[in-house]
Structure 1
Amino acid sequence: MSINTPDTNIILIVDDSPIHLKVLSESLVNAGYEVAVAINGETALKQALYEPPDLILLDIQMPGMDGFETCQQLKAHPSTQAVPIIFMTALADTSSKIKGLKAGAVDYLTKPFQQEEVLARIKVHLQIKDLTQSLLEKNLLLDQLNHKLKHLVLEKDIQLQEADKLSSMGQMMAGITHEINNPLGFVIGNANQVEEFLQDLLTHLQLYQKFYPNPAVPIQNHAEEIDIGFLMADLPEMIASIKQGSLLIKEISTSMRIFAKVDGKNKVLFNIHDGMNSTLLILNHRLKANEHHPEIQVIKKYGKIPEIECFPGQLNQVFMNIIANAIDALEESNQGKTYAEIIASPNQITISTELTPDQTQVLIRIADNGTGIPEEICSQLFNPFFTTKPVGKGTGLGLSISYQIVVDKHQGKLECYSRNGQGTEFVIAIPVHAPKC
């Protein structure tokens, strides 16, 4: 209903005085309003409930049901409780006005009243009613939008988690490719050498069989040619290297399987140390020494903890995010330092696990000895899209999603403790047993 369009508004006048009804009706009709009338409270109530007006002018002193009772009943009914009621009365005392306002009236007109005053007050209260209705409609629309937004945020949250998981998987695959290529290189290289040496050995043995027990000169010459002594000594070492490389490939494959474990709908028992070790192995290419920094030392202080009920894949994602951030922090702290200076004060990541004293939670601490994080930044770390990294180096989602995984999905805690120049520590608390819903 638009404001300042009186022809769309219905005014119900309730008065037992025919003269007042006539005067007010003519005045309101001339002003462009549609008018309905009632001579007592009972009739007014029936009429208002049948077709609710936009405003009611209600006399207080009427036979039978007076204005106060009529007002109370109108305000008690859902279809008329929002209709503004203006009392008309010859009573000018304060107690009557207070009683009327408590009954639900919005205003008072004292008889005898001026036509301009009546029209002005009606206009004001109709505007207030329209504005209130508009506000209610906008609030309803806002609630609907908020409801839809929550669903969209939830869907986006799932998509962001998947995007972040894909980002982590990208890092993981880069690390795995790097780690697999090295052992595969020496497995293939040694396999070729073993094949050549073995053929030489077989040829030599065939000759040895042919001329045994008295080796002939050709056997002796061939033995010298292939350096049989070196071959026999080196062959076991090469085979051992093949086995070691194969085991490493298997270990990396197992770690990949543990890290990329697909979670079901329900939590399962999981060994936190297995998840942590698989994550470290996947990130090993970043921990190794390179032209920029010596090896980043990983100090494990694993306590005796039980398997916990959790979503393993999600927790592995948390470990990946936090440890990768620790490596980033250490690399940043190395800026401006020489290789020798870094060796003198080596980069370290310390990982410790323990049970809380009441044995209801597992505490996982991941600390680096980098330059630390200022307090004003530390307090924003878990906010979505917040990042201190250069453009293209981070999404700002890793720690936010980690917080959701720990707090929302596992009913745990994720906290950050840091001081400038003293490194950063993330503390994860996960219930040993999944809380009952």
Structure 2
Amino acid sequence: MALAVNWSPLVGWTGREPDVVTVECSVVTGFELAAQQEVQDRLGVAAAAIVPHQGRVIFDIAGSQLPQVLSLRTIDNAWILVGVIPQMDLTGPEDETLERLIALLPDLDWPRGLAAWRRIFNRPHLNFDSDQGIDSEPIKRVKIIGDEGDTSPDSIPSFRCTCYRTGTGHAFGSMDAAKAIGGAIQDKFQWRVRMKDFDIEVVVNIDISQVYFGISLTHVSLFKRNIEHFGPTTLRATICSSLLKLANIQPGDVVVDPMCGGGSIPIEGALGYRQGFYLAGDYHELACGRTKDNIQALVTRDNKGLPIDGFQWDVTSIPLKTASVDVFVTDLPFGKRSGSKADNRVLYPRVLLSMARVVKPNSGRAVLLTQDKTSMFKSTGKFSAYWKTTKHSYCNIGGLAALVFMMTRTDKMPDDPSSEGRPASTS
């Protein structure tokens, strides 16, 4: 059963501090703590002012810092909250409950939400006053005439209302709530309704017996970046960033993805965690080609170099010097779209042993993502002398329940430390 959000550490949504706002960010379920750490590191938000919840992080921030929220690399979408009702009975008849939800609209902090929206989006042609409330006359006049006499529909904001609902016992569905509340917003503001290419998205979250409202600060999910040439198992950039955050990249670290596919993880590292140097390798010729093309596309776009290089190699015999790598971060084959679980039970221990040779003893570490948990657990005995699992955590990857394994290197060396693997070709 889903748990309700704990609002007590947050004050922005209450309006008691006019310069503080409360922001909700969606993240891939399982990576909430990575996002929380990034909010602390990049935005300077105290841990006490961040509430990690299932698939999201919610935190207080100064209104002037709102544009910086969109620079976070582990989040998918962001909203500013304009109203929170921590406890509300939503178990009544459908019509009655929807009427009570609609009755909340006049008390929402619309001026703060619309002011935040204007900080993010440059839409000077839109004619509404962000300092007015929902029932104020200047907003209602938007339907008829603008301040300069402009009656063009293009000067009237368009919007969409979306509802996300969890929990049971509700007599209404998400679409029912979105339709009723969206209709009430349209009646009050006289904004145009548009399901696509809208200006403003009002989001209603109904969690069990609490309700909160937000205005979206993103029109396109932030994971849509970096990659132009996709493979069959390309990871979202936000997942890659979360894995790298968990790896705790330090200045000067050599970071390797030995099964890089299209290069999603090392490319995200080279862009967002530039304190390290990244090596991308794969055995498949098409994968190496995609990595090369993705790197070149970014270099051309930004007109600057990146701390990354690519190779074609055999992951079971990585052609790097012994103890030359600081960190491995990789997405292991799930045995779904690529390979099989039977193959993984042979592949996983060979990969871990190959990695153990080239990573630095004691200080070396690895962050490994896989959905094939069984193969990993069954293989542990074959590499446990060289790798110690410090933690493993659940995450949701495209609807699949996966695990992230965080490992540290022991001081023991593999039996054949002189083997340097087969030569690699530069991609």
Q: Which has the larger radius of gyration?
A: 1
As a proportion of its length, which structure holds more helix?
1
Higher RCO structure (Cα 8 Å, ≥6 apart): 2
Q: Same fold (TM over 0.5)?
A: no
As a proportion of its length, which structure holds more strand?
2
TM-score, reference length from structure 1: 0.23
TM-score, reference length from structure 2: 0.23
